[in-house]
Structure 1
């Protein structure tokens, strides 16, 4: 933790782009506290251009796709849950209350949840929920998507249940939103565009006497490909049978959510629950350190961020432990 403590002094106060990450987790409707158990993403925007810790990951070969930038850095605490508990992830853009826009209205796409033992290993992420496009509209309307018409319209709430009978132990929940507003081409073909991935990981400890073990899953990176139809997809013509003159890609009439199928051991239905009041802060404080392109650390004051001035850089390399390490208590990362 010492190697990263200087990088975690503070986080973003004012975020200009309508991106998103998890600010809190409700367990059976009870808030566990703002940022508790959450591996808060660091900055991952274009180097020297200012940036936000709610920016997307676009490189499918990057380790940042696992739990976002600096996802190897543990949160100081872990959320205790039991099999069958309902977890509500509270996604937000720049303030944790019901007035927040959660994510830009143009950022249509699917939502997905995986679970893995903590720490992850090869092929350890198992999908336990997803929702993509659930209603079609004629071109050029984008249809109704989980990210914008479900989660954003429900105050940023994404729900999932801990699998029945899951064996006790430490796990990571990897929750994700994929925005496809620029997904008509791949990031590999055009790095200025491409699908935007918003993964975020939450540390949980499952209690009880369950005996169910997770099956083999997928790896991050590795689970998604630029050839996947769910990664390269034109949301604005996805329901048209003929290719519009304005489109440069074939229009398809359905959408295939990327990644594996949902594990048969997951709950067949996940319903929303009523949530109680938020515990803790509802805004993030100014930060002075962030992660740049290719995980390059750029150190600056908040004034430097606003003026887009670079004052120094050094390389940050993610180091994932191969064995579980108990989180170190300390001051919150925000």
Structure 2
């Protein structure tokens, strides 16, 4: 029985994933890497562990090939190739491309990102589904703020896996970016704007986890969610 438990834990440690499809209007894309830029983990499913790496932007391997059209105020989702089998928060950011920029190749460097949603911990804290609403889900989604200005955006999803985050550098971040054109937007002024890398530090409390003693509170890293 003890051997079986150890094998089960080892299998869980290898259960990585990637976000490779977009859900628009309740319908998932038929193929991977359509509106989502292909990531470097397209074969390995490995996460990013260095928060100072440029991979924190989009983990990008290949430029985009398609832009999805979504309405402000609607629900936008991502599909993982396997369930999100590591506990931790799932967060969403957006970055508006400059007018006239080619969204297929635009590099979102600098203070261009704002957080639009965070699926974080629900007390009491633990490492199971009752604490982490996105745990074991294959689809995650958020609502685009109605007042976000119309335009071309990169939408960034990240799952911060905390199962090995007992020390600095142990968190694994699974992320990707989708190319979307937002229509019917408003006159909001999103912020605060942050950069990747730069928004997170390796020793941020939200990137660390203790199994014992279990923390009594948890705050995901990054800026506050812009509510629109």
TM-score, structure 1 as length reference? 0.57
Q: In the alignment, is the contact (CA less than 8 A) between 1:229 and 1:258 conserved in 2?
A: yes
1:125 to 113, 117, 139: 113
Q: Find the residue that maps to 1:224 and give its secondary structure.
A: coil
Specify the structure having the higher radius of gyration (Cα): 1
For residue 121 of structure 1, report the CA deviation from its aligned partner: 4.1
C-alpha distance in 2 between matches for 1:207 and 1:142: 39
Determine the structure 2 residue equivalent to 1:34. Answer: 31
1:262 equivalenced with 2:225 (yes/no) = yes
Mapped contact 1:172–1:202 kept (Cα < 8 A) = yes
How far does residue 130 in structure 1 lie from its aligned partner after superposition? 0.5
CA contact (8 A) 1:32 1:79 kept: no
Q: CA deviation at 1:74?
A: 2.1
Count of residues paired in the alignment: 206
Which SS does the other structure have where 1:254 is aligned?
A: coil
Tell me what 2:20 maps to.
23
1:142 to 106, 127, 133: 127
Q: Would you say the 8 A contact 2:113–2:193 is kept in 1?
A: yes
Conserved 8 A contact 2:93-2:113: yes
* CA–CA distance in structure 2, aligned partners of residues 168 and 65 of structure 1: 25
Corresponding residue number in structure 2 for 1:221? 197
Secondary structure at 1:160 match in 2: strand
Moved more, 80-89 or 118-127: 118-127
1:1-334 matches, within 5 Å, as 17-35=14-32, 36-43=34-41, 52-70=43-61, 73-93=62-82, 102-104=83-85, 107-118=86-97, 119=106, 120-136=108-124, 142-144=127-129, 149-154=132-137, 156-187=138-169, 194-208=170-184, 210-234=186-210, 236-237=211-212, 239=214, 252-265=215-228
**Conserved 8 A contact 1:124-1:216:** no
SS of corresponding position for 1:42: coil
Alignment RMSD, CA only?
2.2
- State the distance in 2 between where 1:168 and 1:69 align: 25
Q: Structure 1 pair 69/17, CA: closer, same or farther in 2 (3 Å)?
A: farther
Shift of 1:28: 2.4
Q: Any gaps of 5 or more consecutive residues in structure 2? A: 1-12, 98-105
Whether contact under 8 Å (1:135, 1:144) holds in the other structure is no
Superposition TM-score, scaled by structure 2 size? 0.81
1:229/1:87 CA distance change after superposition, 3 Å:
same
Q: Secondary structure at the match of 1:230?
A: helix
Aligned pair in 2 of structure 1 residues 238, 178: CA closer, same or farther (>3 Å)?
farther
Q: Tell me the distance in 2 between the aligned counterparts of 1:221 and 1:152.
A: 25
